[in-house]
Amino acid sequence: MAQAGTILFLPGDGIGPEIMEQVKRVIGWLAARGIEIAVEEDLVGGAAYDRHGTPLTEETLDKARRIGTVMFGAVGGPQYDDLPFEKKPERGLLRLRKELGLFANLRPAIVFPALADASSLKRELVEGLDILILRELTGGVYFGEPRGIEELPDGEKRAVDTQVYTSPEIRRIARVAFELARQRRGRVTSVEKANVMYTGVLWREVVQEVHDAEFPDVALGHMYADNCAMQLVRQPKQFDVIVTDNLFGDLLSDAAAMLTGSLGMLPSASLGAPAADGRRKALYEPVHGSAPDIAGQDKANPLACILSFAMLLRYSLDLGAEADRLERAVAAVLEKGYRTPDIAQPGTTLVGTSGMGDRLLAELDASVA
């Protein structure tokens, strides 16, 4: 049997465990066909807090560093809302991103033909849509110092967050954007607010320099973030690769996700810089959250998680053909009209989380029959 690699499973909270269960079934399916992926599993987020009093233990972080490839479910839930900032489930995820140096966050927004009517936009605006939001993930206002809330002498309070970028941080994410665009339709839109923010001025300048010096073959445009939000819902097909900072990327990728009909469909990959052996540390996660309101009810859509796993196969295990196979199986299941509640439409067949997994495995079987 071919040993394809080892991955760390961090299912997390809410619907995390049940959608990750469907990924495990796909891993089982691959193993039965001679592609063995070893899985280690651990706690993260609220689940880790409940057990260990912290959303990410040092042991888990070490494991993630050693294994290098993480498949992540979702974190968070209302029972953790009142915890101090550093104990919140989300800190577990943010710490993994930062400590593993996962600066490049790929968020593709692809409209499956069968789902073009599930979008809140008209079919003709989204049919065939295939854009990639590349979000800088380890810098900007998410991590900038100083940050915090202080008490003022007069008893009032003052809160500070710091938006900060250095030219090397901008340069390395710009390079990833241009490299990805070369494999796609050759167009990059760089997004900031150079009209009001110094970080935006530097961002625009550095992206342009990298383009002119190394990627003159790629078409580059610059856009203000507010205009980009508007253009995304006005004429989304004008975009190919959008590269932007941590906070704007957070906002714009949610908007782009909705163009596809459901947040439940959007995968993501977060990649680090290549090491000496060419391997990148990486974390794969669905863009949607832990959806505590439907957790444990077999209602969650596992497809974003499955599609994230397809990205893992492609980028971390060099199993591009299996990634393609999995993505085709997802398209086929949708084509046949199977839908979880979040993407249900009149005339389609409602299935639950595990039912969607059943359909997917049936398509995988059919693909090798």
- Find the residue with minimal CB distance to Mg ion: 250
Answer with the entry of Mg ion, ligand IPM, none that 61 interacts with (C-beta below 5 to 8 A by kind): none
338 is catalytic: no
- Going by their DSSP bridges, the two strands 104-110 and 267-271 should be labelled as antiparallel
* Tokens describing residue 247: 């906070």
- Find the residue with minimal CB distance to ligand IPM: 90
Residue 123 CB partners (closer than 8 Å, separation 6+): 116, 117
Among 363, 360, 354, 362, residue whose Cα is nearest residue 18: 354
Q: Which stretch binds Mg ion (CB under 5 A): 55-63, 73-81, 243-251, 360-368?
A: 243-251
Q: Which stretch binds Mg ion (CB under 5 A): 5-13, 89-97, 242-250, 322-330?
A: 242-250
Q: Cβ closer to ligand IPM: 245 or 250?
A: 250
From the candidates 88, 193, 281, 299, which is the catalytic residue? 193
Answer with the entry of ligand IPM, Mg ion, none that 333 interacts with (C-beta below 5 to 8 A by kind): none
Answer with the entry of ligand IPM, Mg ion, none that 90 interacts with (C-beta below 5 to 8 A by kind): ligand IPM
Q: Cβ closer to ligand IPM: 42 or 250?
A: 250
250 is catalytic: yes
What's the closest the beta carbon of residue 94 comes to ligand IPM, in angstroms? Answer: 6
From the candidates 49, 142, 315, 338, which is the catalytic residue? 142
Q: Cβ closer to ligand IPM: 130 or 254?
A: 254
Interacting residues with ligand IPM (CB under 6 A): 90, 93-94, 250
Cα radius of gyration (the chain):
21
87 is catalytic: no
What's the closest the beta carbon of residue 66 comes to ligand IPM, in angstroms? Answer: 24
From the candidates 117, 212, 217, 226, which is the catalytic residue? 226
Q: Cβ closer to ligand IPM: 36 or 90?
A: 90
298 is catalytic: no
Residues 249-308 that bind Mg ion (CB under 5 A): 250
Task: Determine the Cα–Cα distance for residues 151 and 319; give it in Å rounded to an integer.
Answer: 54
198 is catalytic: no
3-state DSSP of the chain: CEEEEEEEEEEECCCHHHHHHHHHHHHHHHHHCCEEEEEEECCCCHHHHHHHCCCCCHHHHHHHHHHCEEEEEECCCHHHCCCCHHHCHHHHHHHHHHHCCCCEEEEEEECCHHHHHHCCCCHHHHCCCEEEEEEECCCHHHCEEEEEEEECCCCCEEEEEECCCCHHHHHHHHHHHHHHHHCCCCEEEEEECCCCCHHHHHHHHHHHHHHHHHCCCCEEEEEEHHHHHHHHHHCHHHCCEEEECHHHHHHHHHHHHHHCCCHHHCEEEEECCCCCCCCCCEEEEECCCCCHHHCCCCCCCCHHHHHHHHHHHHHCCCCHHHHHHHHHHHHHHHHCCEECHHHCCCCCEECCHHHHHHHHHHHHHHHHC
Q: Cβ closer to ligand IPM: 37 or 294?
A: 294
Q: Which stretch binds Mg ion (CB under 5 A): 56-64, 210-218, 234-242, 247-255?
A: 247-255
Q: By the criterion CB under 5 A, which residues form the site for Mg ion?
A: 250
Catalytic residues: 142, 193, 226, 250, 254
